Amino acid sequence: MDKFRVIEGGGEKRDVRQTMLAIGHAARRAARKLALAPRQRKNAALMVAAAHLRTSARDIVAANARDMEAAAKAGASKANLDRLMLNEARIESMAKGLEDIAALPDPVGKVLATFERPNGLKIERVATPLGVVGVIYESRPNVTADAGALCLKAGNAAILRGGSDSFHSSTMIHACLVEGLRDAGLPEDAIQLVPTRDRAAVGELLAGLAGNVDVIVPRGGKSLVARVQEDARVPVFAHLEGIVHVYIDGAADLEKAKRIVLNAKMRRTGVCGAAETLLVDRAAADTMLAPLTKMLLDAGCEVRGDAATRAVDPRVKEANEEDWRTEYLDAVIAAKVVNGVDEAIDHIETHGSHHTDCIVTERAATAERFLTEVDSAIVLHNASTQFADGGEFGFGGEIGISTGRMHARGPVGLEQLCSFNYRVRGDGQTRA
Amino acid sequence: MDKFRVIEGGGEKRDVRQTMLAIGHAARRAARKLALAPRQRKNAALMVAAAHLRTSARDIVAANARDMEAAAKAGASKANLDRLMLNEARIESMAKGLEDIAALPDPVGKVLATFERPNGLKIERVATPLGVVGVIYESRPNVTADAGALCLKAGNAAILRGGSDSFHSSTMIHACLVEGLRDAGLPEDAIQLVPTRDRAAVGELLAGLAGNVDVIVPRGGKSLVARVQEDARVPVFAHLEGIVHVYIDGAADLEKAKRIVLNAKMRRTGVCGAAETLLVDRAAADTMLAPLTKMLLDAGCEVRGDAATRAVDPRVKEANEEDWRTEYLDAVIAAKVVNGVDEAIDHIETHGSHHTDCIVTERAATAERFLTEVDSAIVLHNASTQFADGGEFGFGGEIGISTGRMHARGPVGLEQLCSFNYRVRGDGQTRA
């Protein structure tokens, strides 16, 4: 049943380094073809891959069962097992995801800017593919489909390195993607799955495969991202953590504040856009701190507060310095009273992670100061931080969220998976 | 007369590493302030710096004389001495350059995109500064002013590492920039000049100064760029070389072809946009190869050709494989007959450097194929490759030209010296 390819040469297994270098070269060759592939062909590949996912659902579930069994034996946590698990509904959702990506406008060839020079030269900046994208992920096997499809749509070759615990599941999903590529007449190497569980493969990928990887996207926990950020010799689209703040200004509307804080913290606690720290303006301490704190406690959220917050409810625990820089990813929030928007901005710039931060206020000037001065990838006024998501931004999907400042920042969608070049049209102009 | 600062601590000189780390920290602090500085203040700093350059012209020339003397003693080439030399006219040109940059629109805060979501959220993508830019350059002391000013205008802190041969000149120029910053009430550390000639400082800068450098821009020869690209642990805006092609299609207009080829090769031979290889369509070999070759030879250009090119004039030398991948930066060109646009594109993709390439043709469809399929930062139709320049693109200056695919590609102007973030305005929206 295993369809994964083991690269062999001269009758003997090559080592991981040679395997990975060969993958890199193949990806570069495929990327060159993919860059010029018409959108119909890319979309056809996605549609056929989606159909194959559906018809292979049983085989995928069977492969997944092998992964689940091994993971359970190895003592994986319930949360990990849930991330790993595939059933018919999740496979259908993956297939639907591919179709949704096929339906998006093609980002390649989009004219991003045009300008005409006094000498008559017409200059266009046009979106082109980035090249080769390396994706390193953990348990979730659906990343194989999602990431592979987004890269393909943007005309990039993808090198996917899934978690070793999802190896059989990812291999089956990858086989469906390859069926799509083949059927559409696109190079099969356009989406490659690293065919070994050897961890040395990750090191090779991070080293850039002799110039054949243009960017790496890690998808997983903090330790994975930290390792990638530390060791990669090529650009990385990632965020290490989302220490997300909601600041309730003195001029906030209490009902809006309650709605936003509850959603920002409790809608899903394990996502990077979940609030981790609540800052309340001293001017609102008397009127809003108590109802917001009680609301969170009543919703089952642990609150770790400064003295002022502890004073409003005995259930509030004492926050220490560490709490201001902790991404709980759980039903826990740190809470603190600050002296107005200045101290709020100061706190966020000192303790935050430049991911997503929010102000709740009815005073437009204060909101504008916050939006201008907080140096985060996403800053919001009167809206939940859980909107930090490419889908919610209308990007039709995302490969991740970046807190880097180069090329991509915030949700990384199709547009950010592209580069650009300049096309200059003249009529014989020469430079003086 | 030396105004350069030597960082000292506890009465004893710190080592280079500590000096550089302190520079990095100071740059980051300055960048934070600069990011929020109003444009009037940045422009005032540039105008005052320009005035100081003019009033300090004698002192700068005197400092430059010390550099020139040392360089001459060290046996610098005539070309190197010319790059190093400053006189009143060149200082005036630097001052004027600062004023021109002051007059440009402020790139920071520019709304790059806006979209409204069905739930009423209004999302803006807004340009923000990149952060801290490290610039490593060689002999030309004017880079101190140009690069420092472009970084400042884009709200970035700059760490400038000039060539050791231009140390006294750059130090004087830098002092004028600092006067401008001080006068405008901006942090003096916004533009720092590395205060040591120790080459270890470059290594520290390339290592990223503990996360306090966001991008490195090398300005100089191939060996400098190669070292920076090899060793930098942070993103680099650069091109290693410009192996620039002009392809003369069978459907070219001969007069346009002659004008463009002559300008592309001979206007200035030492710039990265200068043509290095001439490709002539076999369909044009009979009519255009001879006049183009003779024109170049008559203009004093050495031509190294394939058999077909050698056949048209005895002065043509024999080209070898190396010639197809050589950036001469001199009055030399490689010339070859190819089978139409397909072979031209193939040749360019195989031997080129993805910098700038041009097609001359009157057939629009052929031009479009070339513009789409040649994967270079700049592709031109019927215009000289020497237009590969930020000023000629209307960017009001450039800090360099990049052949990288991430963030900046082609001329790197103010816009490419910026990042962006997302500002989301709501009215209490929460995520379902």
Q: Inform me whether the C-beta atom of residue A11 falls under 8 Å from chain B C-beta atoms.
A: no
Query: Residue B73: exposed, middle, or buried by beta-carbon count in 10 A (0-12, 13-18, 19+)?
Result: exposed
Phi, psi of B8 (to 5 degrees): -125, 155
Residues of B in contact with A377 (CB under 8 A): 421-422
In a domain, A67, yes or no: yes
Nearest to B409 among A419, A424, A428 (CB): A419
> Token digits for A423?
């096309």
Determine whether the interchain pair A32/B259 forms a contact, defined as Cβ–Cβ distance below 8 Å: no
Q: Do A129 and A203 share a structural domain?
A: yes
* Whole-number Å distance between alpha carbons of A94 and A81: 18
What integer pLDDT is reported at residue A326 of this predicted model? 96
Task: Name residues whose C-beta falls within 8 Å of residue A7's C-beta, 6 or more positions apart in sequence.
Answer: A14, A18, A19, A22, A23, A195
Same domain, B209 and B267: no
In terms of CA atoms, which chain B residue is nearest residue A424? Answer: B380
Q: What is the pLDDT of residue A11?
A: 33
Residue (of B396, B24, B418, B407) closest to B238 by Cα position:
B407
- How many domains does one find in chain A? 2
Q: Best residue in B266, B342, B387 to probe A by mutation, most A CBs within 10 Å?
A: B387
Look at residue A4 in the predicted model and tell me its pLDDT: 40
Q: Across residues A348-363, what is the average pLDDT?
A: 97
What DSSP line would sit under A213-272, residue for residue? --EEEEES-HHHHHHHHHH-SS-B---S---EEEEE-TT--HHHHHHHHHHHHHS-SSST
Whole-model pTM: value is 0.93
Is A280 found in the same domain as A187? no
pLDDT tens for each residue of A275-304: 999 999 999 999 999 999 999 999 999 999
Q: Contacts of residue B346 in chain A, CB cutoff 8 Å?
A: none
End residue of a domain, out of A231, A262, A280:
A231
Q: Are residues A212 and A64 in the same domain?
A: yes
Q: Do A422 and B410 touch (CB under 8 A)?
A: yes
In a domain, B402, yes or no: no
The 3-state DSSP class for residue A11 equals coil
Instruction: Report the Cα–Cα distance between both ends of chain A, in Å, rounded.
Output: 67
Give, in degrees to the nearest 5, the angle at Cα A120 between A118 and A124. 100
Q: Domain range spanning residue B249?
A: 244-389
Chain A positions in Cβ-Cβ contact with residue B367 (cut-off 8 Å): 425
| B89 CB-near residues (< 8 Å, 6+ apart) | none
Where residue A335 sits, what CATH number does that domain have? 3.40.309.10
What is the complex's ipTM, to 2 decimals?
0.93
pLDDT exceeds cutoff 80 at A1: no
Cα A304 → chain centroid: 29
Per-residue confidence at A428, pLDDT binned at 50, 70, 90? Answer: very high
Which value, to the nearest 10 degrees, does the dihedral of the CA atoms of residues B47, B49, B54, B55 take? 120
Contact residues, chain B, for A384 at CB < 8 Å: 429-431
User: Are B207 and B253 found together in one domain?
Assistant: no
* Chain A neighbors of B425, CB-CB under 8 A: 367, 371, 380-383
Residue A3 has pLDDT above 90, yes or no: no
| Distance in angstroms (rounded) separating the CA atoms of residues B213 and A134 | 24
**Three-class DSSP category at A131:** coil
Question: Could you tell me if residue A200 is inside a domain?
Answer: yes
Kindly list the residues from chain B whose CB atom is less than 8 angstroms away from the CB atom of residue A371: 423, 425
Tell me the backbone φ, ψ of residue A85, rounded to 5 degrees: -65, 135
- Residue A73's H or E segment, with its range, is helix A57-73
pLDDT of residue A14: 60
Do the strands A111-116 and A122-129 form a parallel or antiparallel pair, or are they unpaired? Answer: antiparallel
Other CB atoms within a 10 A radius of the CB of residue B369 amount to 18
| B192, B132: one domain | yes
Whether residues A191 and A47 share a domain: the answer is: yes
Q: Give the Cβ contact number of residue B41 at 10 Å.
A: 15
Same domain, A81 and A191: yes
Q: Is the pLDDT of residue A253 over 90?
A: yes
Point out which residues pair with B218 in neighbouring strands. Answer: B136
Q: What CATH number does residue B83 fall under?
A: 3.40.605.10
Q: Which of B35, B375, B376 sits opposite A375 (nearest CB)?
A: B35
Dihedrals φ, ψ of B252, to 5°?
-75, 155
A394–B117 C-beta distance less than 8 A: yes
Chain A residues whose CB is inside 8 A of the B406 CB are 130, 214-215, 235, 406-407, 419
pLDDT at A380: 98
Whether B200 maps to a domain, the answer reads yes
B128, part of any domain = yes
Chain A and chain B share a number of CB contacts under 8 A equal to 193
Examine the domain organization and report whether A263 and A296 are in the same domain. Answer: yes
The answer as to whether A193 is a domain residue is: yes
A420 in a domain, yes or no?
no
Task: From chain B, pick out residues whose CB is under 8 angstroms from the CB of A406.
Answer: 130, 214-215, 235, 406-407, 419
Q: What is the pLDDT of residues A325-335, one digit of tens each?
A: 999 999 999 99
B380 touches chain A (CB under 8 A): yes
Q: Are residues A178 and A258 in the same domain?
A: no
B78 domain-assigned: yes
Instruction: Return the pLDDT at A6.
Output: 45
Same structural domain for residues B185 and B277?
A: no
Q: Work out the pLDDT band at A9, boundaries 50, 70, 90.
A: very low
Which of A262, A366, A422 to substitute to test the interface with B, most B CBs within 10 Å?
A422
| Least CB–CB distance from A35: residue in B375, B430, B431 | B375
> Residues of chain B whose pLDDT is less than 70?
1-14
A229 — pLDDT class (breaks 50, 70, 90): very high
Q: What is the pLDDT of residues A86-105, one digit of tens each?
A: 999 999 999 999 999 999 99
CB contact burial B168-187 (16+ within 10 A = b; e otherwise): bbbbbbbbbbbbbbebbebb
> Domain end: B352, B373, B389, which one?
B389
Indicate the residue among B231, B257, B282 that finishes a domain. B231
Question: Could you write out the three-class secondary structure of chain B?
Answer: CCCCCCCEECCEECCHHHHHHHHHHHHHHHHHHHHCCCHHHHHHHHHHHHHHHHHCHHHHHHHHHHHHHHHHHCCCCHHHHHHHCCCHHHHHHHHHHHHHHHHCCCCCCCEEEEEECCCCCEEEEEEEECCEEEEEECCCCHHHHHHHHHHHHCCCEEEEECCHHHHHHHHHHHHHHHHHHHHCCCCHHHEEECCCCCCHHHHHHHHCCCCCCCEEEEECCHHHHHHHHHHCCCCECCCCCCCEEEEECCCCCHHHHHHHHHHHHHCCCCCCCCEEEEEEEHHHHHHHHHHHHHHHHHCCCEEEECHHHHHHCCCCEECCHHHHHCCCCCCEEEEEEECHHHHHHHHHHHHCCCCEEEEECCCHHHHHHHHHHCCCCEEEEEECHHHCCCCCCCCCCCCEEECCCCCCCEEECCHHHEEEEEEEEEEEECCC
* Per-residue confidence (pLDDT) for residue B29, from 0 to 100: 96
Angle subtended at Cα A75 by Cα A266 and Cα A148, rounded to the nearest 5 degrees:
65
Nearest to A424 among B235, B253, B383 (CB): B383
| B392–A117 CB contact, under 8 Å | yes
Question: β-strand B418-429 against B122-129: which pairing, if any?
Answer: antiparallel
Rounded to an integer, the average pLDDT of A122-138 is 97
Query: What DSSP designation does A411 have?
Result: E
Same domain, A149 and A12: yes
Q: Which residues pair with B126 in a beta bridge?
A: B111, B421
Alpha-carbon torsion B28, A213, B112, B401, what sign? positive
